[in-house]
Structure 1
Amino acid sequence: MRSQVSKDYNKDRLKQNLNAFISHESFSGVLLFFCVVFAMLVANSKFSVLYFALKELELGAFLGPYHTGMSIEHFVNDVAMSLFFLMMGLEMKREILYGELAGFKKIIFPMLAAIGGIIVPIGIYLFFNHGTPSANGFGVAMSTDTAFALGAILFLGKRVPLSCKVFLVTLAVVDDLGAILVIVLFYTSTLHIGWLLVAGAIFALLVYINHKDTYKLPIFLLLGVGLWIAVFNSGVHATVAAVILAFCIPGRSNVSDTCLLNLKKELEGIYTMVQSGRNFFETSIEHAKFSLRGIWESLTRFFIDDSPRRQFDLQEQSKRVQILDSISRYSLQAQNPLLRLQSVLHPLCSYFIVPLFAFINAGVQIDSSVNLNIDAIFLGTVVGLVVGKPLGIFAFAYLGVKLKIATKPPTLSFTQVFAVGTLAGIGFTMSIFVANIAYINLEYGREAVMVSKLAILYASSLALLLGIAMLWLSTRAKPETKSP
C-alpha cells in the first residue's frame, strides 16, 4: 500500500514538473514573439545605429593597451546561452530518468518522429544547396524552438489535449540532442588537443564526484565553469560544456536513514504540540492590533517596564524556531540537485536569457543590400522547416507504428502528430544559434547569416500560422460542464 502511495506521489510530482515546464515555455514563447517584433522594428528604424552599436559593445576587463573580453552579442550567444543549454541538458536527463523518455517503449515513438524531423529537412536543404559553400548550413533547417511552439499551443488553451503537449516536449528534447550532436560533429573547425585533455580531465572529475554521491551543487557549478573555459578554448562550441555538465549533475536525492529519522522526530514534535491544543504557528500570548499606539506601548514596555509580562513567550518561540530550522535543513539534504537547479534555471532562461537572445539576434536590417539569392539558403531553409519538418515527423512516426517498432499514445491521433510536426517547423532560437556558427567562416559569412535569419523568421511565421490552424482543425473543443 505504501509503495503504491509513493508511486502515485512521484507520478503527481512529475506531472507538476511537466506542467510547470509547459507553462514557463508557453509564456516564454509569447515573450519571444514580442522581442522578435521589437528587434525588427528597432533594427529598421532611426535607432538602428544604436541597436547595432549595442551588439558590438565590448564587455570585459581593460588595463591600458591590454584587455580581455567580448562583445555583448558574443557574450549572449556563448556565455548566457550556455545556461540555456544547461537547462536543456537537465530537461533531457530528467525526461530520460523519470519522464516521458524513461524506457524504450516510451522513447521510441517521439525519437523516431524527431529523427524524421531532422533527416528530411536536412535532405531538402542539401537538395537545394548541394555543391555550394552554403551546404554547410544544413543544421539551420532541422531545429525546433520549444518555447515558440508551446507558446502557439497556449493560444488554443484547453482545446489542445495534454498528449499533444507531451509529444511536442519529448520530440523537442530529442530534436535538441540531435542539434547538439550536429554542432559537435560538423561545426567544429579547429581542435586544440591540450585544452581537450583539460576538458576531459574535468569531465572525469565530474563523473567521479557524481559516482561518490556528492550532492553539493556549488562543486559541480565551479567545475562546470572550468569545463566551459576548457571547451571554449579547445575549438568545440562552448555551449556543449553546459550539456556535459547537466548530465553529470546527480538526478537522485542523497537522504540517509539518520536524516529521515531526525526529520520524523521533529515532525512528531509538531504533532505533539498540535494534539495538545496549541497552535504551532501562533507564539503570541497577547493579540495586539497593529497601530502607532500599540507600537508605542511595546517600546515603552521594552525600555521602561521591568515587569515579567512579555508580548511573546520567548522560550516557546525559540523551541518552535529550532524545530522549523531543523526541518528545513533536513529537507534541503533530501532535495534532488537536478530538479533544484532546473527550477532555478527555468524562469531565468524563459523570461530573460532566451528573450535577450531573440532581441540581440533577430534584428535584421532589411534593405536593398540583402541578397536573398545567395545560393539557395532562403529557399532551402523555408522549405526544410515548413515542409520537411512535418513530413519527416509524420512519416517516421507512421512507419514506426506500422512496422510495430513504436507504439503511439492512444489519445494522440496521426492528424495531431502532423499538426505538432508543423509547429515543430518553428526553428527560431536553435536555428539562429546554428546559423551564427554555420556560415561565419564563409567568404560572404555575414551576408549569409542575415539571409538565413530572414529565412528563419519567415519560415517560423509560416509554421506558426499553419501549425495553429492544423491543431485547431485536429482537436475538438471540450464541452462545457453545466453546474446543476
Structure 2
Amino acid sequence: MPHTDSHVVGRVFQRGPIAETRRVIELLRRETIGGFLLVAAAIVAIVMANTPLADTYESLRDTKIGYAPWHLDLTVGQWASDGLLAIFFFLVGLELKREIVAGQLRSIRTAIVPVFAAVGGVVVPASIYLAVNWGRDGVDGWAIPTATDIAFAVAVLAVVGRGLPAALRLFLLTLAVVDDLIAIAIIAVVYTEQVKPIPLLVAIVPIVMFAVLAHRWADWFSERRWAAWVVLLPLGVVAWALVHASGIHATIAGVALGFMVPVRRGGAGLAEEFEHRFRPISAGFAVPAFAFLSAGVTVGGLTGLGNMFTDPIAIGVLLGLVVGKPVGILVATWLTVRYTTSELDPSVRWGDLACVGTLAGIGFTVSLLVAELSIGDDITALEHGKTAILIASTASAILAGTVLTARNRRASGSGTSVQSGP
C-alpha cells in the first residue's frame, strides 16, 4: 500500500545535495575510461589464449618473480591478483570511507536502500549457485556471481545510460561500493584457509603508523604530491607484505589502508585527493593488467563451449549473474519500499531499476578473483568458471544496453527530456 506523506522518512533515489551529486557523477566519468581499458585487456587476453600466442601468454602469466625467503616468489599472474589489485582495493577503501562519512551511507535514510539492494544482489545469486552445485565439487565457488564490476558497468552506462535519472546512476555506484564491502568480507573470512597470527599482528604497526601520519600531516600530504610516495607508500608495502604472509588475501591490506585516510582533513579531504591521484593508476594499469592476466581462458571451440554449458559451476555463474543479480536487487528494493517508510522518487521507474539491476550482473574483476580463490587447481573447472563470468558479464551488458537504448529512443521520440546529471 502507498504511504502517506506524513509517514515518509525519505524518497528512494531522490537527488541528493548538488555537490555530492557532482562528485559521484565525476567519479562515474573517470570509471568509464577504466571500464573500456578493462574490456580491451580482457579481449586481448582471450585472443592470445586461443591463438598460436597461447604459449607466450601462459609463459608470461606463470613466470615467477620475487624473493623466495619472504614467500614473495609469485607468478606474474599472482602479482597481479595479490599486488596490483591491492591498489584497486585501496581505492575501494577510500570510497567506502567517503560514502560512510560524507556520502550516501552516512545516514540510515540514504543507506537503507542500496545496502538492502546490495545484500539482495549477493544472497540471490549465491543461492542460485548453491542450488545448482549443492553436493558437488564446485560448491565452494558460491561467491563468484555475487560481485559487481563498477568500472565495466559504468562503461556501459556511459554509452547507453544517459537517459537514466541521475539518482539511479548514483544508486548504481553506491550499490557497487556496498557490494565491494561484502565481497571483501567474503574474501577475508571464507577464502582464508589458515591465518598466521604473528605477521597479522605485526601488520597492525605499519597500518597504525600510516593512519597517524595521514591524519596528523594531512595538509602536508595534500600539498606535496611526492610526500605520499616517499612516506606512506613504504608503510603500505610493508603492511601488504605482512598481510600476505599471514595467509589473508593481500588485497585486504589495501582496504585497511584506504580506511586509514581522513575524509575531512587536507584541503577538500585527503581521501578525495588520493582518489584523484591514484585512480588513474588503478583504472589505467592495475585492473586492466589483472584482467589481461586473468581473463585469458582457452575456449576450445564449439566443443569447449558445449562442455562449459554443461558444467554446474558455469551454469551457476551464468544464472547467478544474469538472473540472480537483477532479481535480487529488484526484490530487495521492492521489499524495502513495501515494508519501510520509504517510497520511490517520481523520476524513477521500476523498469529503470531493473536495468540497473541487470548492469549489476556485470561481475568481472572481483568475480574472476573469487573464481581463482575458490576453484583452486582444477584447471578445467577454473576455465569454465572464468568463461562463464565473461559470457554472463557480456550478456548482462548487452541486455541492459539494449533495453536502455530502446528507452532512450522512446524518450526522444516522445519529446521527453533526458536527464544526464550535472
TM > 0.5 fold call: yes
Matching residue of 2:411: 477
* Equivalence map 1:225-304=2 (5 Å): 225-254=237-266
Root-mean-square deviation over aligned CA pairs: 2.6
Matching residue of 1:21: 27
TM-score between both structures, scaled by the size of structure 2 = 0.85
**What amino acid sits opposite 1:337 in the alignment?**
L
Match among 416, 427, 437 for residue 373 of structure 2: 437
Write the distance in 2 (CA, Å) between the matches of 1:392 and 1:230.
37
**What amino acid sits opposite 2:296 in the alignment?**
G
Matching residue of 2:234: 222
Q: Deviations over 1:370-415 (max 9, x none)?
A: 8537851011000011000000000010010010154434422221
* Equivalence map 1:78-93=2 (5 Å): 78-93=82-97
Q: Deviations over 1:273-327 (max 9, x none)?
A: xxxxxxxxxxxxxxxxxxxxxxxxxxxxxxxxxxxxxxxxxxxxxxxxxxxxxxx
**What amino acid sits opposite 1:447 in the alignment?**
T
* Equivalence map 1:445-460=2 (5 Å): 445-460=378-393
- The worse-fitting range, judged by mean Cα deviation, of 178-187 and 367-376 is 367-376
Q: Is residue 297 of structure 2 the alignment partner of residue 350 of structure 1?
A: no
Write the distance in 2 (CA, Å) between the matches of 1:152 and 1:455.
19
CA separation of 1:51/1:380 partners in 2, compared to 1, >3 Å: closer, same or farther?
Answer: same
Secondary structure of the 1:372 match is: helix
* Rg comparison, structure with higher value: 1
8 A Cα contact 2:161 2:405, kept in partner = no
Secondary structure of the 1:250 match is: coil
Q: Is residue 173 of structure 2 the alignment partner of residue 182 of structure 1?
A: no
Write the distance in 1 (CA, Å) between the matches of 2:403 and 2:316.
23
8 A Cα contact 1:82 1:239, kept in partner = yes
Matching residue of 2:8: none
Q: Is residue 344 of structure 2 the alignment partner of residue 408 of structure 1?
A: yes
**What amino acid sits opposite 2:390 in the alignment?**
L
Secondary structure of the 1:191 match is: coil
TM-score between both structures, scaled by the size of structure 1 = 0.74
Shift of 1:147: 1.0
Write the distance in 2 (CA, Å) between the matches of 1:108 and 1:428.
26
* Equivalence map 1:36-435=2 (5 Å): 36-60=42-66, 69-156=73-160, 158-208=162-212, 217=221, 218=228, 219-254=231-266, 334-367=267-300, 371-372=307-308, 376-404=312-340, 406-435=342-371
Write the distance in 2 (CA, Å) between the matches of 1:180 and 1:26.
23
Shift of 1:126: 0.2
Q: Deviations over 1:4-48 (max 9, x none)?
A: xxxxxx955534432221111122222222222222111111111
In structure 2, runs of 5+ residues without a counterpart are 1-15, 222-227, 418-422
Q: Deviations over 1:344-376 (max 9, x none)?
A: 122221222222221111111122678537851
Paired-residue identity, %: 34
**What amino acid sits opposite 2:239 in the alignment?**
L
8 A Cα contact 1:190 1:235, kept in partner = yes
Shift of 1:445: 2.3
Q: Deviations over 1:113-146 (max 9, x none)?
A: 1110000000000000111221110110101011
- Would you say how many aligned residue pairs link Structure 1 and Structure 2? 388
8 A Cα contact 1:105 1:407, kept in partner = no
Write the distance in 2 (CA, Å) between the matches of 1:354 and 1:207.
25
Shift of 1:470: 2.7
Q: Deviations over 1:220-258 (max 9, x none)?
A: 43332222111100110000010011111111125xxxx
CA separation of 1:147/1:373 partners in 2, compared to 1, >3 Å: closer, same or farther?
Answer: closer
8 A Cα contact 2:203 2:242, kept in partner = yes
Write the distance in 2 (CA, Å) between the matches of 1:148 and 1:236.
27
Write the distance in 1 (CA, Å) between the matches of 2:34 and 2:204.
35
In structure 1, runs of 5+ residues without a counterpart are 1-9, 255-333
